[in-house]
Homo-oligomer: A and B are copies of this chain.
């Protein structure tokens, strides 16, 4: 279960509200209360909600209803206020949490019982020395040291010491929680995960828009912004830090905990996020050959990054792999566990930049493809993020060109999100609306029309849409998708050439990224975006960067493993690969339909 605080306003339907917050249920009844896949547990604020409907009485037991279970599609806020909800773990985890591999609990920080003996004439050792020797430690956080004389003379005689390696971070009354945070800093979204480090349990999750978007939608515009003046990078650092602190406070509040009990943070992100959090100049990432400033793993005091946490807490930042393959890709690798698998494995983390990792035998390759924001609905005429009402799957009847589609949450369509776009393009091609070069054919249907000289296909008419206009895919949209999928395909081809393997050699294909399981893999393979492998060899990881970060939070040995891997991953700069250009041009076309 994942706990969540939600502010509602009178009239909000919870399904819609949650979808807009990024929490999309795998429901398939169109929000009509028939499939029961949007079950949620209302912990606080039940009195704000409408009474259970007939559908809920049919699908939920009496015990469940009296315990606070509801269907998100049926519950409507009758007045404004705050709710605390729990969402079932399994339905939620893929998109927001990603899939964690099994991991032994062995965190960087541990709590140690301590009996404090007050100084006496018989024991004139320094305060610090008495503590260190009783714990077998060899250093102490300076802020703890500053308070130590008071703590030892006025504190309780029994205490818990928080120890990290040989360093004592804090001394505090016994019985308090020992927490860690994993943070996945995306270009657009930040997700924070609060973990109980005594038992390894995920306690709560919070996520929000990355406040840096105010200074540029994508990373190149943020780099450009940072180079406008000396205070701009500081601005990027500051808002990012503030955004992270807000999420840490939120996640702690959801779990009834305090940021003061968080003694370890693991932060992953692309290299621009990594550098801007640390306040490192982005200049090297903005100019060819796009080298990062550092690829060293860093552990720094959380306070030195301005992050709120317990006294002496550290932030661990796994190494970036290259300028455009960040520590989030390394976290993907950790989450996939593919480094422990034999044979040939590929991992594709699809986003505005798509990172591809290929393992063949003991060797690793990585590259980054500028796949662009088309899959997030940007630069697409009727594009949309994956929110309620976005068309997420499309079927087209060959011959009649009639359209069937589904939308997120079953609402009236408002636009098309990434998985819908891939589906539509694959269906267009299969139905003969596109030729192999991606050119639209003027097939005989009123849905295919020309507007201001440009061909477009109507997926949904204004009459059936919630957008107030026809929802279309234009020739220009097709070109955007072609550019995106060609970049990914060409990247994977170049890596496979480096490794001397072909698609048929791939034993396991991991798909990571916000798409999650909403991606129609058959369509992605049909348009040539992913290597064609049997579906049984595909694993969806969801937001695996967050999952990998949590695994490194729980097990410090995995960090050493990840750092070792990072050193041995061969980064392939596609810009200098002649093959990439050729593959890219080839990959713009669609594969033959038999393939």
A interface vs B, CB < 8 Å?
Answer: 119-121, 124-129, 139-140, 142, 145-150, 152-153, 278-285, 287-289, 291-296, 300, 304, 320, 322-323, 571, 573, 575-576
State how many angstroms separate the Cβ of A237 from the closest Cβ of chain B: 10
Bound together, the chains give a CA A285 to CA B282 distance in angstroms of 48
Q: How many copies does the complex hold?
A: 2
Chain B residue with the shortest CB-CB distance to A292: B126
Bound together, the chains give a CA A280 to CA B145 distance in angstroms of 6
Bound together, the chains give a CA A148 to CA B294 distance in angstroms of 9
Neighbouring B residues of A149 by C-beta, 8 Å: 280-285, 293
Bound together, the chains give a CA A278 to CA B284 distance in angstroms of 37
Task: Please judge, given known A-B contacts A121-B575, A121-B576, A575-B121, whether A127 and B279 are in contact too, CB under 8 Å.
Answer: no
Task: Please judge, given known A-B contacts A140-B294, A294-B126, A294-B129, whether A146 and B280 are in contact too, CB under 8 Å.
Answer: yes
State how many angstroms separate the Cβ of A125 from the closest Cβ of chain B: 7
30 pairs across A/B with beta carbons < 8 Å?
A: A119-B284, A119-B291, A121-B288, A121-B573, A124-B291, A124-B322, A124-B571, A125-B291, A125-B295, A126-B292, A126-B293, A126-B320, A127-B284, A127-B292, A127-B294, A129-B294, A129-B295, A140-B296, A145-B293, A146-B281, A146-B293, A148-B280, A148-B281, A148-B284, A148-B293, A149-B282, A149-B284, A149-B285, A149-B293, A150-B283
Bound together, the chains give a CA A149 to CA B153 distance in angstroms of 48
Chain B residue with the shortest CB-CB distance to A237: B146
State how many angstroms separate the Cβ of A112 from the closest Cβ of chain B: 19
Neighbouring B residues of A292 by C-beta, 8 Å: 126-127
State how many angstroms separate the Cβ of A570 from the closest Cβ of chain B: 10
Q: Which of A120, A121, A322, A575 has the most CB atoms of chain B within a 10 A radius of its CB?
A: A121
Task: Please judge, given known A-B contacts A139-B296, A278-B146, A294-B140, whether A124 and B283 are in contact too, CB under 8 Å.
Answer: no
**A-B pairs, 5 with minimum CB distance:** A149-B284, A128-B294, A126-B295, A149-B283, A149-B281
Task: Please judge, given known A-B contacts A121-B288, A573-B121, whether A128 and B283 are in contact too, CB under 8 Å.
Answer: no
Neighbouring B residues of A146 by C-beta, 8 Å: 278-281, 293
Bound together, the chains give a CA A120 to CA B295 distance in angstroms of 16
Task: Please judge, given known A-B contacts A152-B284, A280-B149, A284-B127, whether A142 and B296 are in contact too, CB under 8 Å.
Answer: no
State how many angstroms separate the Cβ of A238 from the closest Cβ of chain B: 14
Task: Please judge, given known A-B contacts A152-B284, A576-B121, whether A127 and B278 are in contact too, CB under 8 Å.
Answer: no
Neighbouring B residues of A120 by C-beta, 8 Å: 289
Neighbouring B residues of A285 by C-beta, 8 Å: 149
Q: Name the one of B129, B152, B289 contacting A124, with C-beta atoms under 8 angstroms.
A: B289
Chain A binding surface, main DSSP class:
mixed
Docked-complex contact A129 and B284, CB < 8 angstroms: no
Neighbouring B residues of A153 by C-beta, 8 Å: 283-284, 287
Bound together, the chains give a CA A146 to CA B234 distance in angstroms of 11
Bound together, the chains give a CA A304 to CA B322 distance in angstroms of 31
Neighbouring B residues of A148 by C-beta, 8 Å: 280-281, 284, 293-294
Chain B residue with the shortest CB-CB distance to A227: B150
Instruction: Apart from A121-B288, A121-B575, list 17 A-B contacts with CB within 8 A.
Output: A119-B289, A124-B323, A126-B291, A126-B292, A128-B293, A128-B294, A128-B295, A129-B296, A142-B304, A146-B280, A147-B281, A148-B281, A149-B281, A149-B285, A149-B293, A150-B281, A150-B283
Docked-complex contact A128 and B296, CB < 8 angstroms: yes
Docked-complex contact B294 and A145, CB < 8 angstroms: yes
Bound together, the chains give a CA A150 to CA B296 distance in angstroms of 18
Neighbouring B residues of A287 by C-beta, 8 Å: 153
Bound together, the chains give a CA A435 to CA B337 distance in angstroms of 90
Chain B residue with the shortest CB-CB distance to A147: B281
Docked-complex contact B571 and A291, CB < 8 angstroms: no
Neighbouring B residues of A300 by C-beta, 8 Å: 142
State how many angstroms separate the Cβ of A136 from the closest Cβ of chain B: 15
Neighbouring B residues of A280 by C-beta, 8 Å: 145-146, 148-149
Neighbouring B residues of A576 by C-beta, 8 Å: 121
Chain B residue with the shortest CB-CB distance to A320: B126
Docked-complex contact B121 and A289, CB < 8 angstroms: yes
State how many angstroms separate the Cβ of A580 from the closest Cβ of chain B: 13
Bound together, the chains give a CA A571 to CA B128 distance in angstroms of 17
Chain B residue with the shortest CB-CB distance to A294: B128
Bound together, the chains give a CA A285 to CA B126 distance in angstroms of 10
State how many angstroms separate the Cβ of A318 from the closest Cβ of chain B: 14
Neighbouring B residues of A128 by C-beta, 8 Å: 293-296
Chain B residue with the shortest CB-CB distance to A119: B291
Bound together, the chains give a CA A124 to CA B576 distance in angstroms of 11
State how many angstroms separate the Cβ of A222 from the closest Cβ of chain B: 15
